[in-house]
Structure formats: structure tokens, C-alpha cells
Amino acid sequence: MATFRAVLRLARDYVRRAPGTFVWLAILLVTTYAVQHFSPEFQTRFLERRSTNIHNLWRTPLRVLLGSALYLDGGSWLLYFVLYNLFHVPAERWLGTWRWLGVAAISHIGATYISEGLLLVGIRFGYVPPSSVNVKDIGVSYALAGVQGVLTYRIPRPWRQLYGFCVLVFYGLALVHGRGFTDIGHFTAVLIGLACLPVARWQQERHAAVHET
């Protein structure tokens, strides 16, 4: 019994140190369960209304930018549970909930607008069909890619360069082989995360100051 209580205490402390990540995972669990029980036709319409495509970004940008980050498009919740624990949890503990959330939000929004903007350019010049304004773009992967990028600054040298190189190669190869607007979005999100160096540097300086006192 004592061992069980100790395990529960450890699990509770683990969750408390990254509350934003686990609230987000809980929301995704509920929404994923709900969407899976919709009829195929209603599921398609439901997700299309929350998609950050060109049409929706023009009409209801705030609603779809928030809504698209609360649903998974065909991905396994358990997979994202693992990925969130590998990347979001350490990032939130390191940066703090609000700065971590800021990096995730900037990556999500920035990558969405850049990828959809390039898609719009492609439509205007005839490289992609006009129907692409309604293409489905939903999920949490841009935010995840951005957090993976900023975590580069959390890793000590010389492993920092190796980690950053691997992240860029992973998303860079996907961009080269896929060449889709979501591949552009993921690579852009990583670059946005890497551009959040001032946030990481501020946190490192603050951490050093605390230890000096």
C-alpha cells in the first residue's frame, strides 16, 4: 500500500510540474474520443470547420487557430501522449507554463500562416488547384515542432548541435520528399522554435541568477 501511495505521489508531482501539457493532453483525449464516435460524414464536416485552411483563416481566424490545436487528425492519442512527455513536458518545466505556451502558440500560428500563405501564392499562379483553399489542415504538430526546435537550447553542448541538426534533418527530409504545405509548415515551425533563442537565453540567465543567490 505504501508503495502504491508513493507511486501516486510521484505521478502527481510529475503532472504538477507541467500542468499545461497535461491539460492539453486531457482535452485532446476528450476531443479524440468524441470525434471517433461521429459518423464519417459528420466527422469530415466537423473537422473541416475547424481546419486552418485559407477559407477559414479569412473568415474566422481566431476560432480555427484555437480549434485546430484541440483536435488530432487521424493520429493516435497514445502516440501524442508519448511525444508530449518527450518534448512538451521538459520544455514547460524549463521555460515555465506561459513562456512554453507562448513558443507553442507562435509556432502554431506562424507556421500556419506561412504555409497557407505559400499555398495561396501557388493558387494565384496556377501551381495548385483553386479548391486548395478548403484543404484540411488541423492538428497540434506545428506547435510540437516549434517546441522541439526551442528545446535545442536546453541540451548541453556538444549534444546541443547534434540534437538541433537531427531535428532540422528530420523535418528537412520530410520537406524535400513531401513538398506539401504541411511539410513547409513543420519546417517553418522548427525554425520559429529556433528563433525563440531570446526566451531560452532569458530563462538560462534567470536560472543562473537564482543559483548564485
- 184 vs 138: CA distance, rounded Å: 14
Q: What is the mean pLDDT of each run of 10 residues along the chain (213 residues)?
A: 79 93 97 90 89 94 95 87 97 94 97 95 90 90 97 91 96 91 95 88 60 51
Distance (Å, whole) CA 98 – CA 94? 11
CB atoms within 10 A of CB 165: 12
The alpha carbons of the chain give a radius of gyration, in whole angstroms, of 19
Specify the CATH number of the domain 2-212: 1.20.1540.10
- Give the burial class of 28: count Cβ atoms within 10 A of its Cβ; 0-12 exposed, 13-18 middle, 19 or more buried: buried
Cβ–Cβ under 8 Å, residues 56 and 64: yes
pTM of the model: 0.91
Q: Give pLDDT, residue 152.
A: 94
Q: How far apart are CA 163 and CA 157, in angstroms?
A: 10
